[in-house]
Amino acid sequence: MSGHVAVVGLGPGDPRYLTPEADAALAGAEALYGYGPYLDRVPPRVGQARYASDNREECARAATALGRAAQGERVAIVSGGDPGVFAMAAAVCEEIESGPESWRALDVTIVPGITAMLAVAARIGAPLGHDFCALSLSDNLKPWELIERRLDAAAGAGFVIALYNPVSRARPWQFGNALALLRRHLPPSTPMVFGHAVGRPDERVEVTTLDAADGKNADMATLVIVGSRETRVVARPGKSPLVYTPRATVEVNA
Amino acid sequence: MSGHVAVVGLGPGDPRYLTPEADAALAGAEALYGYGPYLDRVPPRVGQARYASDNREECARAATALGRAAQGERVAIVSGGDPGVFAMAAAVCEEIESGPESWRALDVTIVPGITAMLAVAARIGAPLGHDFCALSLSDNLKPWELIERRLDAAAGAGFVIALYNPVSRARPWQFGNALALLRRHLPPSTPMVFGHAVGRPDERVEVTTLDAADGKNADMATLVIVGSRETRVVARPGKSPLVYTPRATVEVNA
């Protein structure tokens, strides 16, 4: 019995983001588990099984993979971006804590990856160049009131804000409410970045301002960055602008 | 004249974290610029020049590299971790904004990397599995009062907090003050993770609690993660514990 679980971050999609560590973890697994579209990014290997599941089945997927590992199999659970950021690593830890004692004896390796906010930021400049936070707008797993409290705190204290999961079919109004709340803290000209499917063929990055931003700019594959009062936009002739947050802040109330 | 600037994230240190995109950007450069210890991580290539500078000279380094690119050279500026997180990408954007108009015409590529908080989190579980923020404790570029305000806001609203640059020789008391402030918001048992030189040969990861944490736990190569009220520690016989923050939060005042 030498079961092993790797939770592997694939990065934003294109193989150019896949670290050698992630590639080796995928190659060493007897079976892959994951959300179908993420599994589809991994080239098939002879003799390697793969089990696709839906994107709301994180706990069941983790439990199945852990159960197989406890029987001696080498399994890899794939995750888009980084597995530790709104992704599979926490689900695996939850299952280990609540599951059979034997699961705590398993070798578990978590392989980091390029998470969406880093990929989007790199595409457009350095909007996360100063203090920032990452917040999921999904109220499936926490009360909306808590999300509002965190948006208030983050915008009020001058953090740049990366919004994961801004919109889904089941959550149509939340992003618009978040924009309305942010407008109470930040000037209309605050830069915003909408990064859609960054690192994939249908990539689209849009720079706008808080007053011009609209719920329609975002979908399930969008990562949104809301600047702070310090964030700047540098126009470039014939090129997309650079959006960045300077390293220095002089004002205490920035 | 086809100058090009790549700002390249090396990740935490070991080549297993270097993405293929970063490797290709390094291979395609005629000259590398960077802080000496980061340059030392890049294997030498025949015909490729390299210019080391000190770690407080980000702007001068960026300006030199941009000047060379404006003369037609292909340059790469290397950065530890991710260049967009408390690193070189913002310095490059600052210099482009304030420098000669010709610098705005340069092709600039920013290549993301695994930033320290993702590497440390992966080593220990999934402490960043829920909403979190990244905050530099250095008051070289912002007033200490602003750092305190942000710590208050982040801890008060239930964000997990990743602290970059907790300590340096010139900043001996700041981390201790930050701990004292955090103790006003969070229970003594709040999990903390000290990740020292993660991804390098002298890596050391320590799990402790907010009441037991001490300024001596951190140095210049340490990334500190402060849990939230939700963060959990899962003991494992014969193995290091798993530290994770569950995906779900039920309490509005968490």
Which of the residue ranges A105-114, A175-184, B33-42, B210-219 would you say has the lowest mean pLDDT? B210-219
* Shortest Cα distance, chain B CAs vs residue A1, angstroms: 16
Evaluate whether B89 touches B97 at the Cβ level (below 8 Å): no
A163: pLDDT strictly greater than 90: yes
b/e A123-138 (16+ beta carbons within 10 angstroms → b): bbbbbbbbbbbbbbbb
**Parallel, antiparallel or unpaired: strands B132-136 and B204-209:** unpaired
Question: What's the number of CA atoms in the CB half-sphere (13 Å) around residue B235?
Answer: 1
CB contact under 8 A, B110 and A126: yes
Residue of B nearest to A164 (CA): B131
HEC secondary structure over B98-111: HCCHHHHHCEEEEE
Higher pLDDT, B56 or A179: A179
DSSP state of A168: B
- pLDDT for res A55: 83
Q: What mean pLDDT is predicted for residues A126-142?
A: 96
Angle between helices A174-183 and A144-156 (to 10 degrees): 30
ipTM above 0.90, yes or no: yes
| CA max distance for chain A | 62
Interface test with chain A among B61, B94, B96, B161, by most A beta carbons within 10 Å: B94
b/e B172-195 (16+ beta carbons within 10 angstroms → b): eebbbebbebbeebbeeebbbbbb
- pLDDT for res A2: 65
Interface test with chain A among B131, B136, B185, B205, by most A beta carbons within 10 Å: B131
List of E strands, chain A: 4-9, 31-35, 49-53, 74-79, 107-111, 125-126, 132-136, 160-164, 191-196, 204-209, 222-226, 232-236, 239-244
What predicted TM-score, i.e. pTM, was given to this entire model? 0.97
* Shortest Cα distance, chain B CAs vs residue A73, angstroms: 19
pLDDT-derived band at A250, boundaries 50, 70, 90: confident
- pLDDT for res B215: 84
Evaluate whether A118 touches A19 at the Cβ level (below 8 Å): no
* Shortest Cα distance, chain A CAs vs residue B177, angstroms: 17
Residue of A nearest to B252 (CA): A146
- pLDDT for res B217: 86
Evaluate whether A199 touches A13 at the Cβ level (below 8 Å): yes
Q: What residues of chain A lie within 8 A of the CB of B114, using their CB? A: 19, 82, 112-114
Neighbour count for residue A119 (Cβ, 10 Å): 27
| Partner residue facing B242 (CB), from A82, A96, A158 | A96
Higher pLDDT, A55 or B219: B219
Neighbour count for residue A211 (Cβ, 10 Å): 13
Torsion angle, alpha carbons of A245, A86, B134, A12, to 10: -50
Please state, in angstroms and rounded to a whole number, the distance separating the CA atoms of residues A153 and A184. 12
Q: What residues of chain B lie within 8 A of the CB of A155, using their CB? A: none
b/e B140-171 (16+ beta carbons within 10 angstroms → b): eebebebbbbbbbbbbbbbbbbbbbbbbbeeb
- The residues, any chain, with a CB within 8 Å of residue B56's CB and separated by 6 or more, are none
* 254 residues of chain B, pLDDT tens digit each: 568 999 999 999 999 999 999 999 999 999 999 999 999 999 999 999 999 998 889 999 999 999 999 999 999 999 999 999 999 999 999 999 999 999 999 999 999 999 999 999 999 999 999 999 999 999 999 999 999 999 999 999 999 999 999 999 889 899 999 999 999 999 999 999 999 999 999 999 999 999 999 988 899 899 999 999 999 999 999 999 999 999 998 776 66
Helix, strand or coil, per DSSP, at residue A199: coil
Residue type, A3: G
CB contact under 8 A, A108 and B132: no
Q: CA nearest A21: which of A82, A104, A106?
A: A82
* Shortest Cα distance, chain B CAs vs residue A235, angstroms: 8
Please state, in angstroms and rounded to a whole number, the distance separating the CA atoms of residues A164 and A141. 13
- CA distances to A129, A220, A231, B84, B150 from A118, rounded to whole Å, are 11, 17, 16, 7, 21
Helix, strand or coil, per DSSP, at residue B163: strand
Q: Structure tokens of A208?
A: 């706008």
CB contact under 8 A, A146 and B251: yes
Q: Structure tokens of A166?
A: 């801004």
CB contact under 8 A, A84 and B150: no
Q: What residues of chain A lie within 8 A of the CB of B142, using their CB? A: 130, 248-250, 254
- pLDDT for res A97: 98
Residue type, A146: L
Please state, in angstroms and rounded to a whole number, the distance separating the CA atoms of residues B125 and B102. 46
The pLDDT tens digits of the residues spanning A12-39 come to 999 999 999 999 999 999 999 999 999 9
Please state, in angstroms and rounded to a whole number, the distance separating the CA atoms of residues A10 and A81. 6
Q: What residues of chain A lie within 8 A of the CB of B19, using their CB? A: 11, 16-19, 114
Q: CA nearest A205: which of A167, A243, A178, A155?
A: A243
CB contact under 8 A, A234 and B153: no
Residue B20 phi/psi, 5-degree rounding, is -55, -35
HEC secondary structure over B201-231: CCCEEEEEECCCCCHHHCCCCEEEEECCCCC
- pLDDT for res A215: 84
* Shortest Cα distance, chain B CAs vs residue A154, angstroms: 7
- pLDDT for res B3: 84
CB contact under 8 A, A244 and B94: yes
- pLDDT for res B55: 83
A-B contacts (CB, under 8 Å): 268
CB contact under 8 A, A128 and B85: yes
Neighbour count for residue B13 (Cβ, 10 Å): 24
Q: What residues of chain A lie within 8 A of the CB of B129, using their CB? A: 84-87, 89-90, 93
Helix, strand and coil content of chain A, in percent to the nearest 5, comes to 30, 30, 40
b/e B232-248 (16+ beta carbons within 10 angstroms → b): bbbebeeeeebbbbbbe
Q: Structure tokens of B127?
A: 């402490």
CB contact under 8 A, B153 and A153: yes
- pLDDT for res B254: 64
